[in-house]
């Protein structure tokens, strides 16, 4: 159940009061803090944590600064627990789209490029992505990425089909993968698309927004003077939802049960059960190990009615409010964005799970580091035709409302899309009003 405006506003004020007291209440143990290792978190499973440990080992060897590192899966819950005890980590890395949430809750402190050694190696446009509604910068860029369309190239070639260039091509390829036995085992056990279609954390909205943009639709848009409004209820967005629903309602085009699945519950691409996956590139190292890098390709985004825009995303370095180790935290941030730190995070030599997808350091050339045309394709898509969510506001409730609405509309092949979009439009504007950013 979603919160009403009053409780959500109260919760935000409580969090700001709580974390605002960190500085005032944290002075008594500053001496003991100085002797402790730097506390650093990331939202990571075991593979990502292994890559971060390699970066941190190099940092400590270079600087002598010790780091107490934790890779945390239930990140938001545990961060809130730390905030309630008035002891946030000194710094952490998490989704760039959470910038407005962390800033609004008072969890993170402002930073300027000039305060970070090597900050000028990140271009001004990337720094500008991390500005809050008040115009201050609230995080250091660490990694960027674009969603890409992954296709089982061996299946495609076995069936004699070309790379999909349009939505119609993509639909036809999904149907072929579901009906023409692309793995050659004589069984009807393959599917077209992997779709993390759960409403949990707005997964299906996160997956489907690229198609909305490709149709010329959108979720929210600027309304001037730091305000926003819903623009979801349009014929263009409806066109995208009709395309998505066509996949759900064509037997086999989407893995059955997808409306209940998150990314962690959808291993069908790497397990050889489905042949198309619109996703971030972070898991490609794992797919290389499980499938083999010769088994799949990254194809240019198939064109919708308007274009080929895809979701751009990334991770930021956030500095915890109340930290007594801000100087060491900034030194770690400087190493994380340095050529050495970025390259260790890209190569992921041990885990094969990169935590730096596309480097933010403009002196680092991804082709030179990885020599992988698939990553070149992801970078080209990000640079030339990607779009991000609005990071300066609390975007997670927007994503959640969008995911819930799309999930509900996809649950029936005869659902009223017009009514669903009208309801979503109202929910989005209500959320923007609750955040005091409705224009």
Query: Looking at the predicted structure, is the pLDDT value of residue 197 above 60?
Result: yes
Q: Give the pLDDT of residue 264.
A: 87
- Among the residues of 130-269, which ranges form H helices? 153-158, 167-179, 203-214, 235-248
Closest CA to 139 of 357, 321, 365: 321
Average pLDDT over residues 267-296: 94
Query: Looking at the predicted structure, is the pLDDT value of residue 59 above 90?
Result: yes
Widest pairwise Cα distance in the chain: 70
Please, are residues 42 and 49 in contact by the beta-carbon 8 Å criterion? yes
pTM of the model: 0.90
Residue 299 binned pLDDT confidence (cut-offs 50, 70, 90): very high
Distances (CA, A) of 385 to 1, 85, 145, 146, 310: 35, 43, 12, 9, 7
Distances (CA, A) of 320 to 20, 83, 90, 423: 11, 9, 5, 37
Average pLDDT over residues 186-205: 96
Distances (CA, A) of 402 to 260, 261, 368, 407, 439: 15, 16, 39, 8, 19
Average pLDDT over residues 241-252: 98
Query: Looking at the predicted structure, is the pLDDT value of residue 29 above 90?
Result: no
Residue 33 binned pLDDT confidence (cut-offs 50, 70, 90): low
Q: Give the pLDDT of residue 34.
A: 65
Please, are residues 345 and 143 in contact by the beta-carbon 8 Å criterion? yes
Query: Looking at the predicted structure, is the pLDDT value of residue 25 above 90?
Result: no
Q: Give the pLDDT of residue 21.
A: 41
Query: Looking at the predicted structure, is the pLDDT value of residue 155 above 70?
Result: yes
Please, are residues 16 and 80 in contact by the beta-carbon 8 Å criterion? no
Closest CA to 144 of 376, 360, 391, 377: 360
- Range in 16-30, 87-101, 340-354, 389-403 the model is least confident about: 16-30
421 or 26, greater pLDDT: 421
Question: What are the structure tokens assigned to 118, written together?
Answer: 């090597």
Percent composition of the chain: helix, strand, coil (DSSP 3-state, to 5): 50, 15, 35
Length of the chain: 439
Query: Looking at the predicted structure, is the pLDDT value of residue 24 above 70?
Result: no
Average pLDDT over residues 254-279: 95
CA–CA separation, 275 and 269 (whole Å): 6
Query: Looking at the predicted structure, is the pLDDT value of residue 387 above 60?
Result: yes
Q: Cα 156 to the chain's mean position, in Å?
A: 28
Query: Looking at the predicted structure, is the pLDDT value of residue 7 above 80?
Result: no
Kindly report, residue by residue over 322-361, the tens digit of the pLDDT: 999 999 999 999 999 999 999 999 999 999 999 999 999 9
Beta strand pairing status for 91-95 and 310-319?
antiparallel
Q: What is the mean pLDDT of the chain?
A: 92
CA–CA separation, 159 and 155 (whole Å): 6
Average pLDDT over residues 260-283: 94
């Amino acid at each position: 159940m979603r919160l009403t405006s009053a409780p959500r506003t109260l919760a935000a004020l409580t969090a700001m009061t709580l974390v605002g007291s960190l500085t005032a209440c944290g002075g008594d143990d500053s001496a003991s803090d100085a002797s402790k290792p730097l506390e650093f978190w990331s939202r990571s499973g075991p593979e990502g944590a292994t890559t971060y440990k390699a970066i941190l080992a190099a940092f400590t060897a270079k600087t002598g600064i010790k780091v107490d590192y934790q890779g945390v899966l239930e990140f938001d819950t545990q961060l809130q627990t730390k905030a309630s005890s008035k002891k946030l980590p000194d710094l952490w890395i998490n989704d760039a789209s959470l910038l407005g949430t962390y800033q609004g809750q008072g969890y993170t402190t402002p930073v300027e490029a000039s305060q970070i050694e090597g900050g000028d190696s990140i271009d001004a446009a990337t720094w500008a992505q991390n500005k809050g509604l008040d115009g201050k910068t609230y995080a250091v860029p660490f990694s960027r990425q674009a969603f890409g369309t992954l296709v089982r190239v061996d299946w495609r070639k076995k069936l004699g089909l070309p790379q999909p260039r349009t939505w119609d091509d993509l639909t036809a390829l999904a149907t072929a993968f579901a009906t023409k036995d692309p793995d050659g085992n004589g069984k009807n056990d393959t599917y077209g698309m992997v779709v993390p279609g759960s409403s949990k954390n707005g997964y299906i909205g996160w997956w489907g927004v690229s198609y909305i943009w490709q149709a010329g639709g959108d979720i929210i848009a600027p309304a001037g003077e730091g305000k926003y409004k819903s623009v979801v209820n349009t014929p263009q967005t409806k066109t995208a939802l009709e395309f998505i629903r066509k996949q759900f309602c064509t037997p086999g085009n989407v893995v059955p049960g997808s409306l209940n699945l998150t990314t962690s519950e959808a291993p069908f691409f790497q397990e050889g059960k489905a042949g198309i996956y619109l996703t971030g590139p972070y898991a490609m190292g794992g797919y290389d190990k499980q499938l083999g890098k010769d088994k799949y390709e990254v194809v240019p985004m198939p064109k919708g009615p308007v274009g080929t825009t895809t979701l751009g995303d990334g991770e930021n370095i956030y500095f915890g409010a109340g930290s007594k180790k801000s100087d060491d935290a900034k030194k770690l941030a400087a190493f994380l964005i340095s050529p050495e730190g970025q390259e260790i995070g890209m190569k992921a030599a041990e885990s094969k799970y990169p935590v730096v997808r596309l480097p933010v350091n403009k002196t680092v050339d991804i082709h030179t580091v990885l020599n992988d045309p698939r990553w070149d394709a992801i970078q080209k898509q990000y640079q030339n035709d990607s779009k991000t969510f609005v990071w300066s506001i609390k975007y997670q409730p927007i994503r959640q409302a969008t995911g819930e609405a799309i999930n509900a509309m996809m649950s029936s092949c005869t659902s009223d899309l017009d009514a669903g979009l009208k309801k979503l439009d109202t929910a989005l504007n209500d959320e923007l009003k609750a955040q005091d950013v409705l224009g």
